[in-house]
Protein backbone atom coordinates (compact mmCIF):
# COMPACT_ATOMS: atom_id res chain seq x y z
CA UNK A 1 0.00 0.00 0.00
CA UNK A 2 1.48 3.32 -1.05
CA UNK A 3 0.59 6.45 0.84
CA UNK A 4 1.06 9.77 -0.93
CA UNK A 5 2.39 12.90 0.76
CA UNK A 6 -1.11 14.37 0.67
CA UNK A 7 -2.58 11.29 2.37
CA UNK A 8 0.08 11.42 5.11
CA UNK A 9 -0.65 15.12 5.61
CA UNK A 10 -4.35 14.27 6.00
CA UNK A 11 -3.51 11.49 8.47
CA UNK A 12 -1.27 13.77 10.52
CA UNK A 13 -3.81 16.58 10.53
CA UNK A 14 -6.66 14.23 11.44
CA UNK A 15 -4.68 12.49 14.17
CA UNK A 16 -2.75 15.41 15.70
CA UNK A 17 -4.84 18.50 15.00
CA UNK A 18 -3.71 21.78 16.46
CA UNK A 19 -1.90 21.99 19.78
CA UNK A 20 -4.36 24.21 21.56
CA UNK A 21 -5.34 22.07 24.53
CA UNK A 22 -3.00 20.41 27.00
CA UNK A 23 -2.90 16.65 26.89
CA UNK A 24 -5.04 15.27 29.70
CA UNK A 25 -2.99 12.11 30.08
CA UNK A 26 0.60 11.56 29.10
CA UNK A 27 1.44 8.90 31.63
CA UNK A 28 3.47 5.94 30.45
CA UNK A 29 1.55 2.70 30.21
CA UNK A 30 2.53 0.42 33.07
CA UNK A 31 4.39 -2.63 31.85
CA UNK A 32 5.00 -1.29 28.37
CA UNK A 33 8.31 0.46 29.04
CA UNK A 34 7.74 4.13 28.24
CA UNK A 35 4.97 3.46 25.71
CA UNK A 36 2.42 6.25 25.65
CA UNK A 37 -1.28 5.84 25.06
CA UNK A 38 -2.81 7.18 21.84
CA UNK A 39 -3.71 10.64 23.14
CA UNK A 40 -0.28 11.26 24.66
CA UNK A 41 1.53 9.87 21.59
CA UNK A 42 -0.39 12.19 19.26
CA UNK A 43 0.33 15.10 21.56
CA UNK A 44 4.08 14.42 21.26
CA UNK A 45 3.71 13.89 17.51
CA UNK A 46 2.03 17.29 17.14
CA UNK A 47 4.77 18.99 19.16
CA UNK A 48 7.47 17.35 17.03
CA UNK A 49 5.66 18.30 13.85
CA UNK A 50 5.57 21.96 14.91
CA UNK A 51 9.25 21.82 15.89
CA UNK A 52 10.08 20.29 12.53
CA UNK A 53 8.16 22.97 10.64
CA UNK A 54 9.86 25.75 12.61
CA UNK A 55 13.39 24.36 12.24
CA UNK A 56 12.90 22.84 8.77
CA UNK A 57 14.49 19.64 10.08
CA UNK A 58 12.57 16.44 9.30
CA UNK A 59 11.82 13.56 11.61
CA UNK A 60 10.73 9.99 11.00
CA UNK A 61 7.37 8.53 11.91
CA UNK A 62 7.52 4.76 12.28
CA UNK A 63 4.29 2.77 12.21
CA UNK A 64 4.16 -0.88 13.25
CA UNK A 65 0.94 -2.52 12.22
CA UNK A 66 -0.45 -5.98 11.68
CA UNK A 67 -2.14 -7.67 8.80
CA UNK A 68 -5.93 -7.09 9.01
CA UNK A 69 -6.36 -10.70 10.19
CA UNK A 70 -5.26 -9.51 13.65
CA UNK A 71 -8.42 -7.97 15.05
CA UNK A 72 -6.89 -6.81 18.32
CA UNK A 73 -3.42 -6.61 19.80
CA UNK A 74 -3.71 -8.03 23.31
CA UNK A 75 -1.81 -6.90 26.39
CA UNK A 76 0.90 -9.58 26.09
CA UNK A 77 1.53 -8.90 22.41
CA UNK A 78 1.56 -5.13 23.01
CA UNK A 79 4.17 -5.59 25.75
CA UNK A 80 6.33 -7.58 23.35
CA UNK A 81 5.98 -4.96 20.59
CA UNK A 82 6.93 -2.09 22.88
CA UNK A 83 9.81 -4.07 24.39
CA UNK A 84 11.18 -4.67 20.88
CA UNK A 85 10.80 -0.98 19.98
CA UNK A 86 12.40 0.16 23.23
CA UNK A 87 15.39 -2.14 22.68
CA UNK A 88 15.89 -1.16 19.04
CA UNK A 89 15.36 2.62 19.18
CA UNK A 90 17.05 5.45 21.04
CA UNK A 91 16.01 6.71 24.48
CA UNK A 92 15.07 10.06 22.91
CA UNK A 93 12.54 8.51 20.51
CA UNK A 94 8.88 8.63 21.59
CA UNK A 95 7.08 5.27 21.51
CA UNK A 96 3.37 4.63 21.92
CA UNK A 97 0.04 3.78 20.35
CA UNK A 98 -0.64 5.54 17.06
CA UNK A 99 -4.04 3.82 17.16
CA UNK A 100 -4.89 2.07 20.42
CA UNK A 101 -4.48 -1.70 20.31
CA UNK A 102 -3.94 -1.64 16.54
CA UNK A 103 -0.92 0.42 15.36
CA UNK A 104 2.19 1.11 17.43
CA UNK A 105 4.22 4.18 16.54
CA UNK A 106 7.55 5.83 17.17
CA UNK A 107 8.70 9.38 16.53
CA UNK A 108 12.40 9.39 15.67
CA UNK A 109 13.79 12.87 16.16
CA UNK A 110 17.10 14.65 15.70
CA UNK A 111 18.13 13.01 12.44
CA UNK A 112 21.04 15.33 11.81
CA UNK A 113 21.34 17.67 8.86
CA UNK A 114 19.63 15.42 6.34
CA UNK A 115 17.59 12.22 6.31
CA UNK A 116 20.30 10.56 4.24
CA UNK A 117 22.58 10.55 7.31
CA UNK A 118 20.17 8.18 9.04
CA UNK A 119 19.89 4.98 7.04
CA UNK A 120 16.22 3.99 7.07
CA UNK A 121 17.16 0.48 5.95
CA UNK A 122 19.26 0.01 9.08
CA UNK A 123 16.58 1.37 11.40
CA UNK A 124 13.87 -0.75 9.83
CA UNK A 125 16.03 -3.90 9.79
CA UNK A 126 16.98 -3.44 13.46
CA UNK A 127 13.32 -3.03 14.49
CA UNK A 128 12.22 -6.00 12.38
CA UNK A 129 14.93 -8.21 13.92
CA UNK A 130 13.80 -7.27 17.43
CA UNK A 131 10.14 -7.83 16.56
CA UNK A 132 10.92 -11.31 15.15
CA UNK A 133 12.88 -12.06 18.32
CA UNK A 134 10.12 -10.91 20.70
CA UNK A 135 6.89 -11.87 18.89
CA UNK A 136 5.34 -15.30 18.36
CA UNK A 137 6.00 -16.61 14.84
CA UNK A 138 2.42 -15.99 13.62
CA UNK A 139 2.50 -12.38 14.79
CA UNK A 140 6.03 -11.76 13.49
CA UNK A 141 5.03 -12.88 10.00
CA UNK A 142 2.01 -10.54 9.99
CA UNK A 143 3.70 -7.33 11.18
CA UNK A 144 4.64 -4.43 8.90
CA UNK A 145 7.10 -1.65 9.69
CA UNK A 146 6.81 1.60 7.75
CA UNK A 147 8.93 4.74 8.02
CA UNK A 148 7.72 8.13 6.84
CA UNK A 149 9.73 11.31 6.63
CA UNK A 150 7.81 14.26 8.06
CA UNK A 151 7.44 16.66 6.44
CA UNK A 152 7.58 14.68 3.23
CA UNK A 153 9.86 16.18 0.61
CA UNK A 154 7.84 14.88 -2.33
CA UNK A 155 5.46 12.11 -3.34
CA UNK A 156 8.47 10.00 -4.36
CA UNK A 157 10.05 10.48 -0.94
CA UNK A 158 6.81 9.82 0.94
CA UNK A 159 7.35 6.11 1.46
CA UNK A 160 10.95 6.90 2.16
CA UNK A 161 11.47 3.46 3.55
CA UNK A 162 8.91 0.76 3.73
CA UNK A 163 9.27 -2.91 4.54
Q: What is the CA radius of gyration of the chain?
A: 15
Given a cut of 60, whether residue 39 has pLDDT beyond it is: yes
In this prediction, residues 99-123 reach a mean pLDDT of 77
Longest dimension (CA), the chain: 43
- Name the E strands within the chain: 35-36, 59-66, 94-99, 103-108, 143-150, 161-162
pLDDT band for position 92 (cuts 50, 70, 90): confident
Does the predicted TM-score (pTM) go above 0.75? no
87, 96 contact by CB (below 8 A): no
- Fold of the domain built from segment(s) 5-17+25-157: Alpha-Beta Plaits (3.30.70)
**Beta carbons within 8 Å of 55's beta carbon, 6+ residues apart:** none
How far, in Å, CA of 161 to CA of 146, rounded? 7
Amino acid sequence: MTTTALQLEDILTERTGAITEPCSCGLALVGHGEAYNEEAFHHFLAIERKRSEATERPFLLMLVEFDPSFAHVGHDLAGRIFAALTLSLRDTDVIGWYRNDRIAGAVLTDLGDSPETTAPEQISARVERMLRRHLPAAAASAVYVRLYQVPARSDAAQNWWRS
